[in-house]
Amino acid sequence: MALPDLAHRAASRPRVPSLASQRRVSLCETLDRVLNKGAVVAGDIVISVAGVDLLYVGLNLVVTSVETMRNWDPARPQASLPAPPPPEVHP
Amino acid sequence: MATTKGRYLYGLIRTKKDVDYGAIGLEHDGSPGRVYTVLVDSLGAVVSDFSPRERLLPLRKNLEPHNQVLKEVMRSVTVVPMTFGHVARSDEEIRKTLRRHSVAIAAQLDRVDGAVEMGLKVKWDVDSIYDYIVGVDRELAALRDQIFGRSSAPSANEKMELGKLFEDRLNRERDTQTERVLEMFKGNVREAKANVPKGEKMVMDVAFLVDRGAQKAFEERIYQVAGAFPAEYVFDYSGPWAPFHFVDLDLGMDAEN
């Protein structure tokens, strides 16, 4: 399931990197995508860690990260608050 | 046995019945979590049990399952991937969120329907990026010769001027080559998205949205395109990925407008 087509790639033309470097690349690529892209829940706070935007948002869903725990402020209302029912307003 | 109502979210799919993906999820209670769906109408959130109180760090052992689950889900259906790190407090919370954003979610599912994401990074395989760019730009070469070709040492201002011109030409070269590559892939992809290149030797970092059925043709096209470039251009592709770059969805409280 993981890393399909590696054998095919490794056997192909010289300007395509080796199997081992493909594996390393794949990890970086995973990081780039999984941490930076995709659907999110209300990014009212975006924190950048080493150039990677991590999200922390309260209300409905919780997003945790190294940085948010470092910055954890127990005095501030946070995600552990129960979400108030959203106003059902449709324009 | 400890139970939690908390759910870690991997992605969103269209489904009318529950799907069980097996124990391939993030670790919970000491073993890989069972991945399954929380349904509302014809939408499903792909989840595994995870306590909102549990620490969730962006470590490889957590990030890999997130990606692997999405890969597994993608084998049978189109998925809108969530960014790493979303934990809902209950199924009801998930249902509420999906209901509230069902139109936006459907639009994103349509956008990426039947497609996968492929990544392409192109690098300059050269010893010195400075020498390389000077080699392709006459004006830059002339300025360098003018500044460094005299007996007196160049001033700080002159060096800055040269540095600025270098950066300008480096970016111009990237833009030119990226445009050229995107043009060459036009017939093979549904959408393309160029990220800002990281690292001085990176020419481009592009994500493509490719029809699942056109994946093989796309990979063949990479070799054709690479063949049209000089030897110092290294083409490196990855995928298939969940369409991370091609979802634009914020499930926050105020995002429904």
Closest Cα in chain A to B227: A15
Mean pLDDT of all residues in chain A?
A: 49
Closest Cα to residue B46, out of B69, B30, B23? B69
Q: How many whole angstroms separate alpha carbon B207 and alpha carbon B204?
A: 10
Closest Cα to residue A11, out of A1, A25, A22, A2? A22
Burial B169-180 (b: 16+ CB within 10 A, else e): bbeebbeebbee
Question: Which amino acid appears at position B19 of this protein?
Answer: V
Judging contacts by C-beta atoms under 8 Å, the chain B residues touching residue A48 are none
Six token digits for residue B252: 């926050």
8 Å CB contact of B96 and A86: yes
Distance of CA B208 to the CA centre of its chain: 9
Question: Which amino acid appears at position A6 of this protein?
Answer: L
8 Å CB contact of B252 and A33: no
pLDDT at B153 over 50: yes
Mean pLDDT computed over B182-199:
95
Strands (E) across chain A are located at 46-49, 52-55, 61-63
Question: Which amino acid appears at position B92 of this protein?
Answer: E
pLDDT given for residue A16 in this prediction: 53
Distance from CA of A65 to the nearest CA of B (A): 6
Would you call B1 exposed, middle or buried from its count of C-beta atoms within 10 A (0-12, 13-18, 19+)? exposed
Q: What percent of chain A has pLDDT over 70?
A: 16
pLDDT given for residue A61 in this prediction: 35
Is the CB of residue B97 less than 8 Å away from at least one CB of chain A? yes
Is the CB of residue B250 less than 8 Å away from at least one CB of chain A? yes
Handedness of CA B241, B110, B208, B220 (dihedral sign): positive
Distance from CA of A33 to the nearest CA of B (A): 6
Q: Which residue has the higher pLDDT, A63 or B233?
A: B233
Cis amide prior to B240 (ω within 30 degrees): yes
pLDDT at B154 over 70: yes
What tens digit of pLDDT does each residue of B79-116 get? 999 988 888 888 988 998 899 999 999 999 999 999 99
Question: Which amino acid appears at position B252 of this protein?
Answer: G
8 Å CB contact of B231 and A26: no
Q: How many whole angstroms separate alpha carbon A43 and alpha carbon A55?
A: 6
Full-model pTM: 0.77
Q: Label residue B162 left, alpha or beta by phi (over 0 means left) and psi (-120 to 50 means alpha).
A: alpha
Domain boundaries, chain A: 17-70
SS3 A30: helix
Residues B112/B243, Cβ–Cβ less than 8 Å: yes
Please report which confidence band the pLDDT of residue A57 belongs to, taking 50, 70 and 90 as the band edges.
very low
Residues A43/A57, Cβ–Cβ less than 8 Å: yes
Q: Please enumerate in sequence order all residues whose Cβ is within 8 A of that of B189, keeping only pairs 6 or more positions apart, or say none.
A: B208, B209, B210, B218
What tens digit of pLDDT does each residue of B24-49 get? 999 998 999 999 999 999 999 999 99
Is the CB of residue A81 less than 8 Å away from at least one CB of chain B? no
Is the CB of residue A45 less than 8 Å away from at least one CB of chain B? no
Flag the least confident range among A25-29, A52-56, B132-136.
A52-56
Q: What percent of chain B has pLDDT over 70?
A: 97
Residues A44/B254, Cβ–Cβ less than 8 Å: no
Residues B101/B255, Cβ–Cβ less than 8 Å: yes
Question: Which amino acid appears at position B149 of this protein?
Answer: G
8 Å CB contact of A34 and B245: no
Six token digits for residue B223: 């070799």
Q: How far is CA A9 from CA A5, A14, B26, B76, B223, in A?
A: 6, 10, 29, 24, 11
Count interface pairs A-B at CB distance under 8 A. 151
Is the CB of residue A2 less than 8 Å away from at least one CB of chain B? yes
- Which of B97, B253, B257 to probe by mutation at the A interface, max A CB count within 10 Å? B253
DSSP output for B226-250: HHTS-TTEEEEEEEEE--GGG---B
The number of beta carbons lying within 10 Å of the beta carbon of residue B223 is 15
Judging contacts by C-beta atoms under 8 Å, the chain B residues touching residue A30 are 63-64, 67
Residues A3/A22, Cβ–Cβ less than 8 Å: yes
Handedness of CA B109, B248, B21, B189 (dihedral sign): positive
Six token digits for residue B23: 């124990």
Question: Which residues between 210 and 249 in chain B have a beta carbon less than 8 angstroms from any beta carbon of chain A?
Answer: 219, 223, 226, 231, 233-238, 240-242, 244-245, 247, 249
Specify which residues B46 forms β-bridges with: B11, B37
